[in-house]
Amino acid sequence: MRILITAGPTREYLDDVRYLSNASSGRMGYALAESALAAGHEVVLVSGPVSLSPPKGALLRAVETTSEMRDAAVAAFPECDGVIAAAAVCDYKPRRRIAGKIAKTGDPISIEMIETDDVLAELGASKDGRWVLGFALEAENPRANALQKLRAKNCDFVVVNSPSAIGSETNQVELIDPTGGPVAQWSGGKRDVAEALIRWISERFG
């Protein structure tokens, strides 16, 4: 199979030097890419800014903002069999990016925020026979919230993990199907979890 994988964080700039982002290391997405390549699949890796070296053999599309990730993923998806959306994209961005650098004045400032592109929802809406597997980072009511995400974004399955996964070497995940029931659970190093998930995907969709 040819698999599209999104990984890492995105950045949304307040001005030319400051940005909003998160602490995602990209390790889960990169481990998935490595495991998929090791299993004999082709990989298109759309990655936000991380300090990791791309797996040898992956077709890397390096991006920075959510809009850039959306463009790269949408362009690559038609030539793929499915997508694993493991990226931790920013949900909001400033309505207006300030040119230069915002100066300190001693007074509070207000920044109006708007939603970013919903990359996973757009891929789900255009899947046309391809499979879509999303990641859901949930702090409360994980299964219920993950199921809501699955339905809203037209995913086939969702991998649920907790905020403790951000920046960590390990992960504990649960795979949810469209009924909201758990299909599988894996824990351990992110490479171990990635290998188990890729093995399941190969058996389910290969």
Of 22, 141, 161, 171, which one is the catalytic site residue?
A: 22
Supply the DSSP string of 4-35, one letter for each residue.
Answer: EEEESB--EESSSS-EE-----SHHHHHHHHH
- Residue type at 130? R
Distance, CA of 141 to CA of 85 (rounded, Å): 21
Q: Which of 56, 28, 39 has the alpha carbon at shortest distance from 2?
A: 39
Rounded distance, CA 151 to CA 145, Å? 10
- pLDDT recorded at residue 176: 94
DSSP-based three-state secondary structure for 166: coil
Q: What is the DSSP string of 73-92?
A: HHHHGGGSSEEEE--B--SE
**40-52 pLDDT, tens digit each:** 999 999 999 999 9
Query: Is 22 in the active site?
Result: yes
pLDDT of residue 206: 83
**Residue 169: per-residue pLDDT:** 86
User: What domains does the chain contain, in order, with CATH numbers?
Assistant: 2-99+111-205 (3.40.50.10300)
Q: What is the pLDDT of residue 198?
A: 98
Judged on CB neighbours under 10 Å (0-12, 13-18, 19+), 87 is buried
| pLDDT above 90 as % of the chain | 89
Indicate the SS3 state at residue 69.
Answer: helix
| Type of residue found at 131 | W
In whole angstroms, what is the distance from residue 33 CA to residue 193 CA? 12
- Report yes or no on whether pTM surpasses 0.75: yes
pLDDT tens digit string along 76-114? 999 999 999 999 999 999 999 999 999 999 999 999 999
Q: Which two tokens stand for residue 61?
A: 């599309």
Residue ranges in the chain modelled with pLDDT below 70: none
State residue 138's pLDDT score.
87
CA 148 from centroid of its chain's CA atoms: 17
Distance CA 86, CA 58 (A): 16
